[in-house]
């Protein structure tokens, strides 16, 4: 048996083995994206290849590849040698919520007709976790759970196109939601609205589930329209 064959036999079937540089790039990309979406890095924070390499590990080549991927996804913008965490205007935020409103009403309606008991259990657990986060005023934790809740509903529909579109929209929303204190005022009300959506889906009521989702997202749109947004101070990495 050749050495190559011996190595191949040791590898798990169906697993794709990436070159080291590609694995490092994926690792840096995942860590950076998590920090952006969890608000460890906030709108207008400035990132440089050398300092990101020091902070996240790896050479400048995989770091550059990771930064370019985030640039393509719209989570970063380029300014000279710096990569800056994107800022979203209130009007763009409202536009995103309007698109979400239509898609997520559809998502809730389909879920009410097709969701499994296992998926319902996941939604129930997320609502409880959000209740705890709201009580502790942990806005970033709540926001991540909120997106997971909405995306879990979309996933339960089995529609991959719907899931893919909503995932990208939620990532854009998190850029702002995790950067403003104003959203803390809506945590408890938002979770009560989640409860109403969950109950309609659990009872197999597609029309009511859609209506509850519509009301939930409309409440956030109205809150955005009437409240000022003050972004937190940016930093440099």
Examine residue 235 and state whether it is found in any structural domain, yes or no: no
Give me the sheet containing 82-85, strands edge to edge: 46-47, 82-85, 76-79
In the listed set 60, 85, 110, which residue is the last one of a domain according to the structure? 85
pLDDT in tens, the chain (237 residues): 444 334 333 443 333 333 444 677 888 888 888 888 777 887 788 999 998 988 888 788 889 999 999 998 888 999 999 999 887 777 888 899 999 999 999 999 999 999 999 999 999 999 999 999 999 988 888 988 999 999 999 999 999 999 999 998 998 887 766 555 546 678 889 999 999 999 999 999 999 999 999 999 999 898 888 765 543 333 445
- Output DSSP code: residue 234: P
- pLDDT at residue 208 in the model: 98
| Overall number of domains in the chain | 2
Q: Clarify whether residues 205 and 149 are in a common domain.
A: yes
CB distance 60 to 22 below 8 Å: no
Q: Is residue 21 part of a domain?
A: yes
In a domain, 236, yes or no: no
Together in a domain, 172 and 192: yes
The predicted-structure confidence for 33-60, as pLDDT tens digits, reads as follows 888 877 788 778 899 999 898 888 878 8
Residue 29 in any domain: the answer is yes
DSSP percent split of the chain into helix, strand, coil, nearest 5: 70, 5, 25
What are 4's two structure tokens?
Answer: 């190559």
What is the C-alpha end-to-end distance of the chain, expressed in Å? 50
159 and 212 in a single domain? The answer is yes
Asked, for residue 54, whether it belongs to a domain, the answer is yes
Same domain? 80 vs 97: no
Q: What are phi and psi of 23, to 5 degrees?
A: -65, -40
pLDDT of residue 206: 98
Note whether residue 184 is domain-resident: yes
Separation of alpha carbons 175 and 189, rounded Å: 21
- The C-alpha atoms of residue 123 and residue 119 are separated, in whole angstroms, by 6
The token pair at 203 is 């009872």
Considering the domain architecture, whether residues 81 and 110 belong to the same structural domain is answered as no
Range of the domain at 205: 90-226
Element (H, E) at 85: strand 82-85
Whether residue 233 lies inside any domain: the answer is no
Residue recorded with tokens 């997106």 = 147
Q: Is the pTM of this model over 0.85?
A: no
> Residue 197 domain-assigned?
yes
Rounded to 10 degrees, the C-alpha dihedral 50/23/234/236 comes to -10
Query: Of 42, 64, 85, at which residue does a domain stop?
Result: 85
Which residues partner with 85 through β-bridges? 76
DSSP category for residue 203:
T
CA–CA dist 53, 28 (Å, integer)? 9
């Amino acid at each position: 048996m050749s050495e190559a064959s011996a190595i191949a036999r040791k590898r798990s079937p169906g697993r794709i083995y990436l070159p080291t540089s590609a694995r490092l790039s994926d690792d840096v990309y995942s860590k950076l994206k998590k920090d952006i979406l969890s608000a460890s890095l906030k709108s207008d924070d400035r990132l440089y290849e050398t300092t990101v390499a020091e902070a996240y590990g790896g050479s400048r080549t995989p770091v550059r590849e990771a930064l370019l991927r985030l640039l393509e996804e719209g989570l970063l913008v380029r300014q000279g040698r710096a990569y800056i965490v994107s800022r979203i205007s209130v009007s763009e935020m409202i536009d995103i919520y309007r698109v979400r409103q239509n898609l997520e009403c559809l998502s809730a309606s389909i879920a009410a007709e097709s969701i499994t008991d296992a998926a319902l259990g996941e939604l129930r657990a997320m609502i409880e976790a959000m209740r705890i986060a709201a009580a502790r005023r942990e806005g970033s934790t709540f926001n991540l759970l909120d997106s997971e809740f909405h995306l879990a509903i979309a996933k339960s529909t089995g529609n991959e196109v719907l899931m893919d579109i909503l995932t990208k929209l939620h990532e854009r929303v998190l850029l702002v939601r995790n950067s403003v204190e104003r959203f803390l005022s809506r945590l408890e009300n938002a979770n009560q609205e989640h409860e109403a959506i969950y109950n309609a889906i659990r009872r197999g009521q597609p029309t009511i589930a859609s209506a509850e989702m519509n009301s939930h997202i409309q409440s956030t749109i109205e809150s955005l329209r009437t409240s000022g947004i003050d972004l937190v101070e940016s930093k440099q990495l």
